[in-house]
Amino acid sequence: MAAEQCGVAEHMSSAAQKILDGKTALGVEFGSTRIKAVLIDDAYAVIASGDHGWESHLDHGLWTYSLDEVWSGLQDAYATLARDVEDTYGLQLTRIGSIGFSAMMHGYLAFDSEDRILVPFRTWRNTNTHEAHERLSQLFQYNIPERWSIAHLYQAVLEGEEHVPSVAYLTTLAGYVHWRLTGCKVLGVGDASGMFPIDPLTHTYESELLDRFSALPEVASQPWNIRNLLPSVLVAGHGAGVLSEQGARLIDPTGALQSGIPMAPPEGDAGTGMVATNSVRVRTGNVSAGTSIFATVVLERKLRRLHPQVDLVATPAGDLAGMSHANNFTSDLNAWVGLFRQFSEASGHPVDTDGLYATLFRAAISEKADADAGGLLNYCFYSGEFLAGLEEGRPVFARGPESRMSLANFMRAQLFGAFCPVKIGMDVMVRDEGVRIDSLVGHGGIFTTPKVAQRILAAAFNTPIKVMSTAAQGGAWGMAVLADYLRHADTPLADYLDGLVFAGAASATEDPDAHDVAGFERFFARFMQALPVERAAIASIPLEERG
């Protein structure tokens, strides 16, 4: 026991010295429901963390967060991390080796020439840009998803929105935060690839497509040129400015945090997911599961033809990747788990959150569960879902009178239904385009319960799924790694991850089970056939905006 206590004390002393010496990197990610801050040391271990919960809300029918929430949430997440440092190591956090910010990609943050926001932040969750998506995809012969920044801008042009002539700068949420903290209007190439198509050779915006967009009569009549609206693009490892004195106060109003800290290019959650799963090499892929879910594979070549179900994005190093992105994943699942929590509390036998998720998830793969979830169906659509052809969403659970209703089947239907939308785009890549995958890694909190989501995902994609020991760390940890990469930029990103970050990392792989695969295929066919049920719910149940 004394030896163990000595070892713990030695580790804490080592971490404390690294904090004092600034041998640390901070990653902050603005997710859909949580802002998470993670401080790592130079061995990539998490030594402190903090977070802040937040939720988007509807404003005149569009999903948004206020900019005040951005800053108050960041300050709260950082303050929680700083308290963690003080409580654990007895130190005030003043020095950090490097910092990086990431956020949910895409969306629309438009500013005028005096840096004033023109309309409330329009998040990736909005699907009001279908006309722009169709027109630009055909014009470019390149899929422009509804949530991309250029689709939001063009939709505003098409609808003649009053603010459009005043636009002087467009960026993403991560780009906005970075700009305010450093004064630099830049973006990591992965996040930039959710604004406008990226040329994988030059690692910047596709010049020919910029010209095509500018030549559109309704665009040409605007007082701006698209080339002047977009942030400059940087690949991972390039310096992206330093934290200004004003920026330091925005993060830490107490005045303790020092300015002058090197900043990494701001990235999107797709890029941080690739880094967190060591999936930046060609033919590697990852499935990042949270409020939304996306499956990404680094491509050997461009796709042969336009596929609306597949987004083309870039790794943080600038390589082309194909992505199947579904807007909806855990929101409905979390709501149902919340209902079971209320029942446990009402019964006088409350169950802690981790135990509740573990119990419910394990039921889904128990012997009591039918392979196809017993005829039950669940649609997790809180918002619109392009992959399913839905402009809006309504969560729906449905079953027939002969369905086998049980807890095991209910939870299996929940998880099967959550993975169905992302399977649509993945099938296009693998079956239609012959995309080859050497490894597919899952990450996100849903993989915290051993085997369950991993086994179901293996069934959905009929491919082995690996989960690493870092699976639950998520994008904030991946962004911290990218911030640390500033010190190793002379090494290719993939080699840096293999040789330093993930050397000796523990992992577990689940191979697809034939019984599960057949069951998922039956469920998926039923899911697609019954989509009119979801459309009827959309037509019948009105949206309620938060007051």
Question: Hey, how many other C-beta atoms are within 10 angstroms of the C-beta on 13?
Answer: 11
pLDDT at site 2: 45
CA 463 to chain centre: 22
What pLDDT does residue 290 have? 81
- Supply the pLDDT for residue 5: 44
Least confident stretch, 66-80, 213-227, 438-452: 438-452
172 Cβ contact list (under 8 Å, min separation 6): 103, 105, 106, 107, 109, 149, 187, 191, 194, 195, 266, 268
- pLDDT tens digits for range 285-300: 999 888 889 899 999 9
What pLDDT does residue 8 have? 44
Reported as a pLDDT band with limits 50, 70 and 90, residue 12 is low
Question: What pLDDT sits at residue 455?
Answer: 95
Residues 368-407: tens digit of each pLDDT: 999 999 999 999 999 899 889 998 999 999 999 999 999 9
The pLDDT of residue 488 is: 97
Block residue for tokens 């991993």: 454
- pLDDT interval class at 546 (50, 70, 90): low
Ranked by mean pLDDT, the top range of 1-15, 216-230, 262-276 is 216-230
CB burial of 143-165 (b: ≥16 within 10 Å; e: otherwise) equals bbbbbbbbbbbbbbbbeeeeebe
Question: What is the Cβ-side half-sphere exposure of residue 14, based on CA atoms within 13 angstroms?
Answer: 13
Q: Kindly report the CATH number that applies to the domain delimited by 330-469+511-540.
A: 3.30.420.40
Report the amino acid identity of residue 85: V
